[in-house]
Amino acid sequence: MPMNTRRLLRGIGIVCALGLGATACGSDEGGSSQKQVSAENIQAALKKGGTLTVWAWEPTLKQVVADFEKKYPAVDVKVANVGTNSDAYTALSNAISAKKGVPDVAQIEYYALGQYALTKGLDDLAPYGADKLAGTYSPGPWNSVTSGKAVYALPMDAGPMAMFYNKKVFDKHKVKVPATWDEYVEAARALQKADPKVYIANDTGDAGMATSMLWQAGSRPYTVDGTKVKIDFSDAGARKYTETWQKLLDEKLLAPVTGWTDAWYKGLGDGSLATLTTGAWMPANFTTGVKNASGDWRAAPLPQWTAGDKASAENGGSALALPALGKNKELAYAFTEFANAGEGVQARIKGGAFPATTADLQSDAFQNAEFPYFGGQKANKIFAESAANVADDWSYLPYQVYANSIFNNTAGKAYISKTTLAQGLKSWQDASVKYGTEQGFTVEK
Amino acid sequence: MSSPATTASPASLPARPPAGTSGSAPRLRTPRTKRHSPGRPRRSVLLTVLTGLVVLYALVPLLWLVISTTKTQEGLAGSFGLWFDGDFALWDNISTTFTYNDGVFTRWLLNTLMYVGLGAGGATFLAVLGGYALAKFAFPGKRAVFAVVIGAVAVPGTALAVPTFLMFSKMGLTDTPWAVIIPSLISPFGLYLMWVFATEAIPTELMEAARIDGAGEVRTFFQVGLPLLAPGMVTVLLFTMVATWNNYFLPLIMLKDPDWYPLTLGLNSWNAQAATAGGEPVFNLVITGSLITILPLIAAFLLLQKYWQSGLAAGSVKE
Amino acid sequence: MTTPQPPATAERSPARPSAKRDRRSWTGWGFIGPFAAVFALVFLAPIGYSVYLSLFRDQLIGGTTFVGLDNYQQALQDDQFWASLGRVSAFLAVQVPVMLLIALFVALALDSGRLYGKDFFRISIFLPYAVPAVVATLMWGFMYGSQFGLVGDINDALGVSLPDPLSTELVLASIGNIVTWEFVGYNMLIFYSALRVIPHSLYEAAEIDGAGQFRIVTAIKLPAIRGALVIATIFSIIGSFQLFNEPVILRDLARNAITTDYTPNFYTYSLSFDGQQHNYSATVAIVMGLITMVIAYVVQLRGMRKGA
């Protein structure tokens, strides 16, 4: 595992040493020049109280805030949903550019953290004591938020992947639930044959999904070493993915329905979309968004590239970070820890969130929880196993937000024209290389 | 042929615009009854059907909206869009819209009303003042004004958003209602309409008369100009109202505190929550909320349309 | 005669003694001052700032450097920019005439007094203009959906297979349809109210001379509302060149067919918001603004010449 986030963040130190960043460089080699903040300081701050601004879209935080304010009555937490993912990053970037109105705590998805860490937009949480939480989280999410000794955020939720499938549809057409991707293609054909209205899944090209698929297939397209970046979508893992997916595309076995739209919810409800491979946070969305299909769906491990394997990947998931220009640092950290490592975690699990904390993942109560929606299935066992099997050497680009925004301009062509997925990924690669070069990265193709 | 009655009572809005000075009396506001006096034209079924097609085109998507407000979130996804579902959930949807998230919808509605009141009202007032100046005064740089306005409007606004944000941020305006209201104060189309309208509607002689009577410029404007401009003002008000009501992009960038959101931004946040982990899809509330948002605009249209014809018309027709 | 250029009419006013004009020159600014001040704040200052920004380059690694006109040079050679401009030009050439003709037809029909239920027609056609963008997304998502939407339902019910409105080939037309839907009513009202104030003595005279309805339309009505037509055209041109909301809305449903550089305005948006390339985004916007200005100016000149 040559490349990982550790290397990425060590690179940040190099940028700072050269004095290139516009903002001051606080930390070096993951070590921190920030002042240590003792637990006593934090307790004192909590007692003194104040107002805390949190930018987040995570719905379960509402309960956490209520609990937190109850425990620390002097603190007033204001949660603002400033938009979901890319809207939120726009808002955060704008506020940082203006050096004004920056929130004290911000929700950032794992794939987007690199950019803010690189540009020194976030505080290192290690001096607050976050480094001691290393064992608290499962390796995938923890790796995504750390760099050497520096901790740039605390994981809020995780998205170890699983395959959700509509059991009723599989039973009705007597199709075997796939355990490998080859079987998945077979099942797709069988379902289409049995009923042309039934698709194995929807896919109109989604950067997050594609990178997760590559991750599981063992591909490591992004190699990041400080300001040196390498992008390559032609390794063996990528080929496995593109070859299999090309079959699904060529035979029109994927429904051209975009995720999270009204039509998509409809498809999940009426049996026309037979599976959904996504992060383990999905059950909450099933329960609230696809009520009419309650009992139809089940969870299963992600199909494998080699029969008998247990490879998995993360899809989605986000963390809470402290923007460097935010205020009330002690309070901000106290809230972040409360929400993501302390009592808040239980409240959030109750609200349907999928935790990143090992203790909760391993607890009997969690593992034995029955999901009425999934016909009483103890689905968390599958999710927890997936979480443990996520390869932790994956790395995103330090400008993944931009790269993802152009995925459909480039790789998306594979979904609507004769361009193959491999060619599509190549043009995604070229466009990402071009941007990286323009932004001053040393990009190796 | 001046209209002393109008000058004397500026309060009697809407004033009938004077017919101008040259005696072409019915130019601005032709009484409907006088149309085609020698016999009303025959109604044409063919023409009605053809126009009906355009109406159908306009209304079918709206029919979807209206029908959809009667459906539950599940029914929305699970039934044919242009017909009713089993449950009639309209009342339920309406009450949930107003109570969801601790009744924040009402807050958004009030915010929007405030933005429209101050933004559209202010935009109309500025356009009236500006149009009056362009129409009735000679001043240096006057020729350049409209060229500059059109030129500025031609620059794509999305690229200006970040510079505007940074400026407003330095001025401490972001995340306050002012960040929404101040940009809404400018309506280039409104300025244009008021310019042409004022040129037509206010006889210069009337202004001269007021000045001879010793009225200052401000008083002349309020007592002579403003009453005569009322129909044009209403026109501009309607356009700026719709624009402010549906304003989305700028509030999105400027506002972070949901307590200041206008309806469009609020509804969009409800819409977006369907796409987040653990978020509850509430398309039914988004749709119901949208219908509720449109209703005040329809009411305004119906209320103001009688002023409309004379207002816009003066902006485009001269003999 | 009708002209879209107010200064021409303003200058008809009799010349005034120069002393008075001086006094007025300040008075005039007094009245337009508030508009000018706010306009300077929300339009001119950001544009000025953008011009300044366009001379720099800001990199994630390397910070900000002065690059002179490099960004402009890059913009002029930027295939993505020119492709997007080509797209909106094609859009402009087809959608604007269609929209304005429908609007004109409806306005003439309403004005003719030959319609049943005129008031209902007028407000119905105007209504789409009041629909917020969020709703339009959901609505057109349903209308255009070939899987679960209306198109899909029609295909199933009639056993036909209509082309997918969201395919690469058709999506520009689908966007045109939405824009037309939204703005027919808006333009119709501009035309309609222009028609309402034509002195009817003109029609009567024409009828006495034996002119038919069609002749009245072409000889009297259309020339009389030329000013409205030119204004509507100029604002539609600016609107087309700034096409943004509709492709953004539809992109949720056709994200491969509608790229983030689909229109110039979309391109500047994604440069600025996705790519944090504020400097280059500002450059493209300024180039685009200049092009739009030139075209709007030419149309205005032509309209004026014909109208004069």
A411 touches A421 (CB < 8 A): yes
* C286 and C239 within one domain: yes
| Extents of the domains making up chain A | 5-158+316-362, 161-313+392-444
C39 and C79 assigned to the same domain: no
CA–CA distances in Å: residue C302 to residues A330, C3, C7: 66, 10, 16
Instruction: Name the residue type at position B136.
Output: K
3-state class (DSSP) for residue C57 = strand
pLDDT in tens, chain A (445 residues): 333 333 333 333 333 333 333 333 333 334 445 678 888 889 999 999 999 999 998 889 999 999 999 999 999 999 988 877 678 898 898 899 888 889 999 999 999 998 898 888 999 999 999 999 988 998 889 988 988 788 999 999 999 999 999 999 999 999 999 999 999 999 999 999 999 999 999 999 999 999 999 999 999 999 988 889 999 999 999 999 999 999 999 999 999 888 888 888 889 998 999 999 999 999 988 988 888 899 999 999 999 999 999 999 999 899 999 999 999 999 999 999 999 999 999 999 988 889 999 999 999 999 999 999 999 999 999 999 999 999 888 999 999 999 999 999 999 999 999 999 999 999 999 999 999 999 999 998 6
Mutate to test the interface with B, among A257, A260, A262, A291 (most CBs of B within 10 A): A262
Residue C305 has a pLDDT of 63
Q: Poorest-confidence range of A6-10, A426-430, B37-41, C241-245?
A: A6-10
Residues in C touching B319 (Cβ below 8 Å): 1, 199
Q: Which helix (H) or strand (E) holds B99?
A: helix B90-115
Find out whether B273 and A85 touch, Cβ atoms under 8 Å. no
Report yes or no on C70 lying in a domain.
Answer: no
> Residue C127 in contact with residue B62, Cβ under 8 Å?
yes
- Domain for residue C125, yes or no? yes
ipTM of the complex: 0.83
Q: Is C138 on the interface with A (CB under 8 A)?
A: yes
The answer to whether residues C127 and C274 belong to one domain is yes
CATH number, domain A161-313+392-444: 3.40.190.10
Is C48 inside any structural domain? Answer: no
Q: Distances from the Cα of B273 to the Cαs of A291, A318, B7, in angstroms?
A: 16, 15, 56
Q: How many domains does chain C have?
A: 2
CA B183 – CA B120 distance, rounded (Å): 10
The answer to whether A321 and A340 have CB atoms below 8 angstroms apart is no
Which residues of chain B are within 8 Å of residue C44 when distances are taken between CB atoms?
148, 152
Which chains border B (3 or more CB–CB pairs < 8 Å)?
A, C
Query: Residue A290's closest chain B neighbor by CA?
Result: B74
CB A283 within 8 A of CB A374: yes
C190 and C257 assigned to the same domain:
yes
| Domain interval for residue C96 | 75-307
Q: Find residues 83-122 of chain B whose CB sits inside 8 Å of chain C.
A: none
B78 touches C: beta carbon within 8 Å: no
d(CA C216, CA B79): 50
More confident residue, A442 or B226: A442
Does domain A5-158+316-362 sit in CATH 3.40.190.10?
A: yes
pLDDT at residue C168, as a whole number: 87
Q: Does B39 touch chain C (CB under 8 A)?
A: no
- H-assigned helices in B156-279: 157-170, 178-184, 188-201, 204-212, 217-220, 226-245, 249-254, 263-272
> Cβ–Cβ contacts within 10 Å for residue B30, how many?
18
Per residue in B302-313, pLDDT tens? 887 776 554 444
Interchain CB distance below 8 Å, B78 and A98: no
User: Is residue C50 included in any domain, yes or no?
Assistant: no
* Phi and psi, residue B21, nearest 5°: -105, -15
**Angle in degrees, 0-180, between the axes of helices C118-126 and B283-316, rounded to the nearest 10:** 110
* Tens-place pLDDT, residues C156-187: 788 888 888 888 889 999 999 999 998 998 88
**Within 13 A of B184's CA, how many CA atoms are on the CB side?**
32
CATH superfamily ID and name for B110-262+295-319: MetI-like (1.10.3720.10)
Residues C157 and C292 in one domain: yes
Interval C278-285 mean pLDDT:
92
The answer to whether the CB atoms of A60 and B74 lie below 8 A apart is: no
- Position of tokens 């002065």? C66
Q: What pLDDT sits at residue A20?
A: 32
User: Residue A48, CB half-sphere, CA atoms under 13 Å: how many?
Assistant: 12
The structural domains of chain B, with segments of one domain joined by +, span 110-262+295-319
Map residue B244 onto helix, strand or coil: helix
Q: How many CB atoms lie within 10 A of CB A25?
A: 16
A5-158+316-362 and A161-313+392-444 share one fold:
yes
CA distance C185 to C121: 10
Which of A80, A263, A284 lies closest to B277 in CB terms? A284
Our CA angle for B234, C11, B140, nearest 5°, is 90
Would residue C301 count as lying in a domain?
A: yes
The DSSP bridge partners found for residue A50 are: A75
